[in-house]
């Protein structure tokens, strides 16, 4: 199914219940990201490379029995999109909010999912004996806000810096459909 050794290992490592399948539409791939906590809402991301794994990262129980959680270390974002297509390697961390969100909390959620990837990376290196597992990926951090508002044109908050750190996340308001290249920083 996957062409990348990293994605083959991740696919074997992660429970099926935490994976979100890609669907094919008109010869291209897309994924529907859904949230069902309280208010139901969804966003479709189109033109996703075939060699991509999508993970619902908040399916992993918060480690509150181990960590105190005073610094936000028990939080995680909603989705991870790991793509390795033609040497273009990206890990996109996405947090979805139906309405307003406290930016500090969103940053904690994005960082928590970054830690989850680091944990998976260490498991792949030590238990799958792959010293280069999940290396060379570029991170993108995305905050999707006001998702449940009636359809409007998608708005982005201007961002002068790359969205490669949680503090510099790309903020997209009122999204319905997004293009993959837009999330990695290439406008179509």
Q: Which of 3-7, 67-71, 110-114, 127-131 has the lowest mean pLDDT?
A: 67-71
**Cα separation of 175 and 23, whole Å?**
19
Query: Is residue 171 helix, strand or coil?
Result: strand
Instruction: State the average pLDDT over residues 122-149.
Output: 91
pTM, entire model: 0.90
Q: What percentage of the chain has pLDDT greater than the value 90?
A: 65
Residue 28's domain comprises 5-184
Give the mean model confidence (pLDDT) for residues 66-81: 92
- Please provide the DSSP assignment of 40-108 as one string: -EEEEEEEE-SSEEEEEGGGSPP-TTTS--TTSTT---SEEEEEEETTEEEEEEEEE-SS---HHHHHH
Over residues 150-154, the mean pLDDT reads 50
Cα-Cα-Cα-Cα dihedral of 178, 4, 13, 134, to 10°?
Answer: -80
**How many domains would you assign to the chain?**
1
**Beta-carbon contacts of residue 144 (< 8 Å; ≥ 6 apart):** 43, 94, 95, 96, 97, 172, 175
- Give me the pLDDT at residue 150, please: 54
Average pLDDT over residues 166-179: 91
At residue 80, does pLDDT exceed 90? yes
What is the predicted pLDDT for the residue at 58?
86
What pLDDT digit, counting tens, does each position of 17-59 carry? 999 999 998 999 999 999 877 677 899 999 999 999 999 998 8
Whether residue 69 contacts residue 49, with contact meaning beta carbons closer than 8 Å, is answered with no
């Amino acid at each position: 199914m996957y062409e990348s050794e990293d994605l083959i290992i991740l696919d074997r490592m992660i429970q099926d219940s935490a994976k979100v399948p890609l669907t094919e539409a008109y010869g291209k791939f897309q994924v529907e990201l859904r949230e069902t906590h309280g208010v139901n809402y969804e966003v479709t991301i189109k033109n996703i490379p075939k060699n991509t794994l999508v993970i619902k990262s908040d399916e992993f129980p918060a480690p509150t029995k181990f960590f105190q959680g005073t610094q936000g270390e028990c939080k995680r974002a909603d989705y991870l999109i790991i793509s390795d297509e033609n040497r273009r390697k990206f890990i996109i961390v996405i947090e979805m909010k139906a309405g307003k969100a406290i930016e500090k909390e969103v940053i904690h959620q994005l960082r928590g999912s970054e830690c989850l990837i680091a944990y998976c990376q260490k498991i792949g290196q030590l238990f799958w004996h792959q010293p280069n597992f999940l290396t060379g990926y570029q991170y993108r951090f995305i905050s999707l806000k006001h998702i449940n508002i009636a359809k409007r044109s998608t708005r982005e908050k201007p961002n002068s810096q790359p969205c490669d750190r949680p503090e510099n996340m790309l903020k997209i308001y009122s999204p319905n459909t997004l293009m993959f290249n837009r999330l990695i920083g290439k406008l179509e």
